[in-house]
Protein backbone atom coordinates (compact mmCIF):
# COMPACT_ATOMS: atom_id res chain seq x y z
CA UNK A 1 0.00 0.00 0.00
CA UNK A 2 2.77 2.45 0.93
CA UNK A 3 4.61 1.70 -2.32
CA UNK A 4 1.45 2.42 -4.31
CA UNK A 5 0.93 5.73 -2.52
CA UNK A 6 4.58 6.70 -3.00
CA UNK A 7 4.42 5.94 -6.72
CA UNK A 8 1.56 8.40 -7.22
CA UNK A 9 2.56 11.06 -4.72
CA UNK A 10 3.72 14.49 -5.96
CA UNK A 11 6.06 14.65 -2.96
CA UNK A 12 8.57 12.07 -1.68
CA UNK A 13 7.11 9.45 0.69
CA UNK A 14 9.46 7.92 3.25
CA UNK A 15 8.25 5.04 5.42
CA UNK A 16 9.69 5.00 8.94
CA UNK A 17 9.10 1.61 10.58
CA UNK A 18 9.97 -0.08 13.87
CA UNK A 19 9.37 -3.56 15.21
CA UNK A 20 6.26 -3.99 17.35
CA UNK A 21 7.58 -4.32 20.90
CA UNK A 22 4.72 -2.57 22.62
CA UNK A 23 3.84 1.11 22.84
CA UNK A 24 7.01 3.01 21.91
CA UNK A 25 5.68 6.24 20.47
CA UNK A 26 8.69 8.36 21.43
CA UNK A 27 11.11 6.09 19.58
CA UNK A 28 8.86 5.90 16.53
CA UNK A 29 8.55 9.66 16.30
CA UNK A 30 12.25 10.27 16.87
CA UNK A 31 13.12 7.88 14.05
CA UNK A 32 10.67 9.65 11.77
CA UNK A 33 11.93 13.13 12.72
CA UNK A 34 15.48 12.01 11.94
CA UNK A 35 14.40 10.98 8.43
CA UNK A 36 12.75 14.32 7.65
CA UNK A 37 14.41 17.00 5.55
CA UNK A 38 11.76 19.74 5.67
CA UNK A 39 11.82 22.71 8.02
CA UNK A 40 8.33 22.18 9.47
CA UNK A 41 6.88 18.92 10.81
CA UNK A 42 3.19 18.09 11.23
CA UNK A 43 2.34 15.15 13.51
CA UNK A 44 -0.73 12.95 13.54
CA UNK A 45 -1.49 9.56 15.10
CA UNK A 46 -2.35 6.41 13.17
CA UNK A 47 -5.97 6.70 14.31
CA UNK A 48 -6.45 10.15 12.76
CA UNK A 49 -8.19 11.07 9.50
CA UNK A 50 -7.21 14.51 8.21
CA UNK A 51 -9.65 16.93 6.60
CA UNK A 52 -8.52 17.83 3.08
CA UNK A 53 -7.16 21.27 4.08
CA UNK A 54 -5.32 19.92 7.14
CA UNK A 55 -1.74 20.41 5.95
CA UNK A 56 -2.48 23.75 4.25
CA UNK A 57 -4.04 25.02 7.47
CA UNK A 58 -1.01 24.01 9.52
CA UNK A 59 1.32 25.71 7.03
CA UNK A 60 -0.80 28.85 7.33
CA UNK A 61 -0.42 28.81 11.13
CA UNK A 62 3.32 28.08 11.12
CA UNK A 63 5.20 30.88 12.86
CA UNK A 64 8.82 31.17 14.05
CA UNK A 65 9.17 30.76 17.79
CA UNK A 66 5.93 28.77 18.04
CA UNK A 67 4.54 25.26 17.81
CA UNK A 68 0.90 24.54 16.93
CA UNK A 69 -1.71 22.44 18.78
CA UNK A 70 -4.88 21.52 16.91
CA UNK A 71 -8.11 19.88 18.05
CA UNK A 72 -9.87 16.63 17.16
CA UNK A 73 -13.33 15.24 16.57
CA UNK A 74 -14.00 11.95 18.38
CA UNK A 75 -15.83 9.32 16.33
CA UNK A 76 -17.51 6.61 18.39
CA UNK A 77 -17.14 2.92 17.64
CA UNK A 78 -20.12 2.48 15.31
CA UNK A 79 -19.34 5.54 13.19
CA UNK A 80 -15.65 4.62 13.07
CA UNK A 81 -16.54 1.19 11.69
CA UNK A 82 -18.81 2.83 9.10
CA UNK A 83 -16.06 5.21 7.99
CA UNK A 84 -13.52 2.40 7.64
CA UNK A 85 -15.96 0.19 5.74
CA UNK A 86 -16.97 2.97 3.30
CA UNK A 87 -13.43 4.37 3.12
CA UNK A 88 -14.75 7.91 3.30
CA UNK A 89 -16.19 10.34 5.80
CA UNK A 90 -19.98 10.82 5.94
CA UNK A 91 -21.45 13.85 4.17
CA UNK A 92 -22.39 15.36 7.54
CA UNK A 93 -21.15 14.81 11.07
CA UNK A 94 -24.31 16.24 12.63
CA UNK A 95 -25.34 12.75 13.67
CA UNK A 96 -24.99 10.24 16.48
CA UNK A 97 -21.55 8.87 17.15
CA UNK A 98 -19.70 12.20 17.14
CA UNK A 99 -18.13 13.87 20.18
CA UNK A 100 -16.53 17.32 20.24
CA UNK A 101 -18.82 18.22 17.35
CA UNK A 102 -17.80 21.88 17.43
CA UNK A 103 -14.38 20.79 16.18
CA UNK A 104 -16.03 19.73 12.89
CA UNK A 105 -16.41 23.35 11.83
CA UNK A 106 -13.76 24.88 9.60
CA UNK A 107 -13.95 28.67 9.50
CA UNK A 108 -11.14 31.09 8.71
CA UNK A 109 -13.10 33.91 10.37
CA UNK A 110 -13.71 32.05 13.65
CA UNK A 111 -10.19 30.70 13.62
CA UNK A 112 -8.75 34.23 13.50
CA UNK A 113 -10.96 35.23 16.43
CA UNK A 114 -10.31 32.25 18.69
CA UNK A 115 -6.87 30.84 17.85
CA UNK A 116 -4.30 32.37 20.17
CA UNK A 117 -0.78 32.14 21.58
CA UNK A 118 -0.22 30.90 25.10
CA UNK A 119 2.19 28.98 27.29
CA UNK A 120 -0.32 26.52 28.72
CA UNK A 121 -0.23 22.74 28.59
CA UNK A 122 -3.93 21.95 28.92
CA UNK A 123 -5.23 19.67 26.20
CA UNK A 124 -1.82 18.78 24.76
CA UNK A 125 -2.22 16.00 22.19
CA UNK A 126 0.35 15.34 19.51
CA UNK A 127 -2.24 13.62 17.32
CA UNK A 128 -2.67 17.10 15.78
CA UNK A 129 0.53 18.99 16.38
CA UNK A 130 3.18 20.87 14.40
CA UNK A 131 6.62 22.32 15.11
CA UNK A 132 9.82 23.52 13.49
CA UNK A 133 12.37 20.74 13.01
CA UNK A 134 15.21 22.86 14.39
CA UNK A 135 13.25 23.37 17.63
CA UNK A 136 12.62 19.64 18.01
CA UNK A 137 16.33 18.95 17.57
CA UNK A 138 17.20 21.69 20.07
CA UNK A 139 15.30 19.82 22.83
CA UNK A 140 16.37 16.37 21.51
CA UNK A 141 12.93 15.28 20.35
CA UNK A 142 10.71 12.91 22.30
CA UNK A 143 11.92 11.36 25.55
CA UNK A 144 12.39 7.59 25.21
CA UNK A 145 12.50 7.14 28.99
CA UNK A 146 8.71 7.09 28.69
CA UNK A 147 7.49 3.49 28.56
CA UNK A 148 3.97 2.61 27.50
CA UNK A 149 1.10 5.01 26.95
CA UNK A 150 0.90 8.50 28.31
CA UNK A 151 2.52 11.89 28.92
CA UNK A 152 5.36 11.67 26.39
CA UNK A 153 3.58 14.34 24.34
CA UNK A 154 3.09 16.60 27.37
CA UNK A 155 6.74 16.23 28.38
CA UNK A 156 7.91 17.10 24.86
CA UNK A 157 5.65 20.15 24.95
CA UNK A 158 6.99 21.16 28.38
CA UNK A 159 10.55 21.15 27.05
CA UNK A 160 9.54 23.23 24.03
CA UNK A 161 7.95 25.77 26.38
CA UNK A 162 10.98 25.72 28.69
CA UNK A 163 13.13 26.35 25.61
CA UNK A 164 11.22 29.59 25.15
CA UNK A 165 8.65 28.76 22.48
CA UNK A 166 5.01 29.80 22.46
CA UNK A 167 2.06 27.52 21.79
CA UNK A 168 -0.44 28.43 19.07
CA UNK A 169 -3.80 26.84 19.83
CA UNK A 170 -5.41 26.25 16.44
CA UNK A 171 -9.22 26.33 16.51
CA UNK A 172 -11.66 25.79 13.60
CA UNK A 173 -8.78 24.94 11.25
CA UNK A 174 -6.59 21.86 10.68
CA UNK A 175 -9.54 19.55 11.38
CA UNK A 176 -8.78 15.99 12.51
CA UNK A 177 -11.10 13.03 13.07
CA UNK A 178 -10.13 10.44 15.68
CA UNK A 179 -11.21 6.85 15.02
CA UNK A 180 -12.41 4.78 17.95
CA UNK A 181 -10.11 2.12 19.39
CA UNK A 182 -9.86 0.20 22.63
CA UNK A 183 -8.07 1.92 25.50
CA UNK A 184 -4.30 1.52 25.60
CA UNK A 185 -2.56 -0.14 28.54
CA UNK A 186 -1.88 2.51 31.18
CA UNK A 187 0.13 0.47 33.66
CA UNK A 188 3.15 2.81 33.34
CA UNK A 189 1.18 6.02 33.72
CA UNK A 190 2.26 6.81 37.30
CA UNK A 191 5.94 6.61 36.38
CA UNK A 192 5.31 8.68 33.26
CA UNK A 193 3.51 11.28 35.38
CA UNK A 194 6.60 11.46 37.60
CA UNK A 195 8.90 12.03 34.62
CA UNK A 196 6.63 14.80 33.36
CA UNK A 197 6.56 16.53 36.74
CA UNK A 198 10.37 16.41 36.95
CA UNK A 199 10.68 18.13 33.59
CA UNK A 200 8.21 20.84 34.61
CA UNK A 201 9.69 21.44 38.07
CA UNK A 202 13.32 21.40 36.90
CA UNK A 203 12.52 23.41 33.74
CA UNK A 204 14.33 20.91 31.56
CA UNK A 205 14.83 21.60 27.87
CA UNK A 206 16.80 18.45 27.00
CA UNK A 207 16.24 14.71 27.36
CA UNK A 208 19.11 12.21 27.31
CA UNK A 209 17.38 9.48 25.30
CA UNK A 210 16.08 11.35 22.29
CA UNK A 211 16.30 11.94 18.57
CA UNK A 212 20.08 12.41 18.55
CA UNK A 213 20.46 8.61 18.65
CA UNK A 214 19.20 8.47 15.04
CA UNK A 215 20.89 11.50 13.47
At 37-77, the pLDDT tens digits run: 999 999 999 999 999 999 999 999 999 999 999 999 999 99
**Taking 90 as the threshold, does the pLDDT of residue 94 lie above it?**
no
d(C-alpha 96, C-alpha 128), whole Å = 23
Burial 9-23 (b: 16+ CB within 10 A, else e): eeeeeeeeeeeeeeb
pTM, full prediction: 0.94
pLDDT by residue (tens digit) across 99-140? Answer: 988 999 999 999 999 999 999 999 999 999 999 999 999 999
Of the pLDDT bands very low, low, confident and very high (cuts 50, 70, 90), residue 91 is confident
What's the confidence (pLDDT) of residue 62? 98
Q: Tell me which of 143 and 123 has the higher pLDDT.
A: 143
The answer to whether 139 touches 92, Cβ cutoff 8 Å, is no
pLDDT by residue (tens digit) across 47-57? Answer: 999 999 999 99
d(C-alpha 29, C-alpha 31), whole Å = 5
Q: Tell me which of 1 and 105 has the higher pLDDT.
A: 105
Q: Which fold has domain 21-214?
A: Spore Coat Polysaccharide Biosynthesis Protein SpsA; Chain A (3.90.550)
Amino acid sequence: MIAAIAANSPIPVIHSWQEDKGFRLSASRNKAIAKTSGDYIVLIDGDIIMEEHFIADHIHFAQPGCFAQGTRVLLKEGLSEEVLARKRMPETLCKKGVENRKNCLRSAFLSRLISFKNRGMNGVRTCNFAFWRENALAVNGFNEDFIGWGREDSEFTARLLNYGLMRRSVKFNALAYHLYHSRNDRSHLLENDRLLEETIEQKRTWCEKGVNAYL
